[in-house]
Amino acid sequence: AQSVTQLGSHVSVSEGALVLLRCNYSSSVPPYLFWYVQYPNQGLQLLLKYTSAATLVKGINGFEAEFKKSETSFHLTKPSAHMSDAAEYFCAVSSGNTPLVFGKGTRLSVIA
Amino acid sequence: GAVVSQHPSWVICKSGTSVKIECRSLDFQATTMFWYRQFPKQSLMLMATSNEGSKATYEQGVEKDKFLINHASLTLSTLTVTSAHPEDSSFYICSARDPASLNTEAFFGQGTRLTVV
């Protein structure tokens, strides 16, 4: 079975500050890992994904994440937060052809 | 990237009626689609896996007679909430994988906000 734990249901940062959203996973097989962003009443948009290639993955909107097998982590970072980054972020895991298993989500607030 | 279109984006219905939600893959063929339910301020919970030409696979605790899933073509899956009740009010989201992306990435529809009154 696979699972995802997102530490912190709500993260608040100042505009221009570093964004760090934490994700730890559990998987008995090599995982595929994803970060999605969701704006209110909308579907999910893929930010980035790890599929066993480079461990440092760059995504859209300046986000990146690093896969650390030893720590079973896939934390999402962005050097400088923008007001438009305020949204709900979900980390997810799958083993390729299986449905995505989502974490509980982290709401990011950006303070001006 | 591949596009998944979900319709309607929102619907209000009376208790006891049925509501159909459509999920279409616009530029790829999806042999498998997934239906999720999301409660306010919560994560996405997988309801069922929809397989083209065969019966859907439901997750434990999901009533298959209440949430009817049909995947009659490679580009369309439908979720019908039968005899809807207020507790069925939720945000429903479908997703599909594009085989060209080696089945790793799932594309999501815009979601459907269902309100049962």
Q: Over the stretch A27-39, which tens digit does the pLDDT of each residue have?
A: 988 899 999 999 9
Burial class (CB in 10 A: 0-12, 13-18, 19+), A56: exposed
Beta bridge partners of B88: none
Contact B25, B105 (CB under 8 A): no
What pLDDT shows up at residue B102? 62
Q: Collect all residues of chain B within an 8 Å Cβ-Cβ radius of residue A107.
A: 41
Burial class (CB in 10 A: 0-12, 13-18, 19+), B72: exposed
A106 three-class SS: strand
Diameter of chain A measured on Cα atoms? 42
Among A1-5, A13-17, A105-109, the least confident range? A1-5
Give the distance from CA A27 to its chain's centroid.
16
Compute the CA torsion angle A57, A47, A80, A52 (nearest 10 deg). -10
Judged against a pLDDT cut of 60, whether residue B9 lies above it is answered with yes
Of B10, B43, B49, the CB nearest to A102: B43
Q: Collect all residues of chain A within an 8 Å Cβ-Cβ radius of residue B49.
A: 99
What pLDDT shows up at residue A1? 83
Judged against a pLDDT cut of 70, whether residue A40 lies above it is answered with yes
- pLDDT level of residue B103 (50, 70, 90 thresholds): low
Q: Collect all residues of chain A within an 8 Å Cβ-Cβ radius of residue B42.
A: 104-105
- pLDDT level of residue B30 (50, 70, 90 thresholds): confident
Closest CA relative to residue A36, chosen from A45, A28, A25: A45
CB interface of A with B, residues 27-86, below 8 Å: 32, 34, 36, 41-46, 49, 51
- CA-based nearest distance A41→chain B, Å: 7
What pLDDT shows up at residue B77? 94
Residue of B nearest to A90 (CA): B43
What pLDDT shows up at residue B101? 67
